[in-house]
A and B are shown apart, each in its own frame.
Chain A
């Protein structure tokens, strides 16, 4: 548990929660990232604008944080072919399943949505099983 950072984790989490309630309170939208990005990739109707701006906000916020924190925030361990496969699975799976860690995990659980509770249990369990297989079996 050498990398355990509960305080910054909790503070970051509070900020993610604040961002989520802000978007719902002001714009009436759920901050589900797969849905927001999916609506840019496959636009339906004329609501691409706020989605693009929201994603630009994510990039801006991360840029500021990276400048302040410095150092390497990101370590990728998977190989390139695994990243390609994983990316396709995450992209396709979150659209098919109507949500990801933010949409189902955060917004859905707070609304006590039955679908989101089920989806969150499935993707956490499957992800843990996948890591177990990759790290300790294969």
Chain B
């Protein structure tokens, strides 16, 4: 059932991306290019989505649990940190250079495959590589940290008489 729900939501998400025109990076750049021939469509897409999520999400989150799962899985961090803002800035550079963010980059693989657009595969492949690289670095970091913690607690226990 949970997988069926994910399929339904994903399908609607894919249709929404296509209908909105946001699959097309040229259109996204048309929004980001405020000094050029500005195309405000993206603001209408965000506005339309927020019109639904804004009022409905708080109502859903007031329930004790989702319909098909044991609990809501939500981010717990509350503070602004360098990782959040630095990550957002790196993403902004890549988004501005290409006009692709992750959703459209995945969805655009379909028209790319149907119409022969290898450039989309280049972008999405690199994006997945970037995610993989982050995952590896983050894993190494936690391993280093736990190793350091292990050695320092070992040192502490050895220092004890």
Task: List residues of A whose CB falls within 8 A of some B CB.
Answer: 1-6, 8-31, 33-34, 37-38, 41-42, 49-51, 53-66, 69, 72-78, 80, 82-98, 100-102, 104-107, 109-111, 113-115, 118-120, 122-132, 134-136
Contact = CB atoms under 8 A, between A and B. Distances in A.
Interface string B11-53: 1111111111111111101101111111111101111111111
B157 to A, nearest CB: 30
B156 interface: no
A25 B89 CA distance: 31
Band of interface residues on B = 35 or more
Contacts of B155: none
A16 B111 contact: no
A31 B100 CA distance: 17
21 contacts: A1-B39, A9-B41, A13-B50, A19-B12, A25-B67, A28-B66, A33-B101, A33-B103, A49-B3, A54-B6, A57-B13, A61-B10, A64-B15, A77-B99, A87-B124, A87-B125, A93-B90, A96-B87, A122-B88, A127-B92, A127-B96
B34 to A, nearest CB: 6
A93 B89 contact: yes
A30 B90 contact: no
A59 B60 contact: no
B139 A19 contact: no
B159 interface: no
Contacts of B158: none
Contacts of B134: 38, 42, 91-92, 95-96
Contacts of B70: 28
Contact of B135 (A8, A33, A42): A42
Contacts of A63: 14, 110, 114
* Nearest 4 pairs of A and B residues by beta carbon: A57-B10, A97-B87, A13-B48, A91-B130
Q: Which residue, A25, A30, A53, has most C-beta atoms of chain B within 10 A? A: A25
B9 A31 contact: yes
A124 B87 CA distance: 13
Contacts of A20: 9, 13, 49, 52-53, 57
B9 A90 contact: no
A132 B51 contact: no
Contacts of A29: 6, 69, 73
A95 B94 CA distance: 13
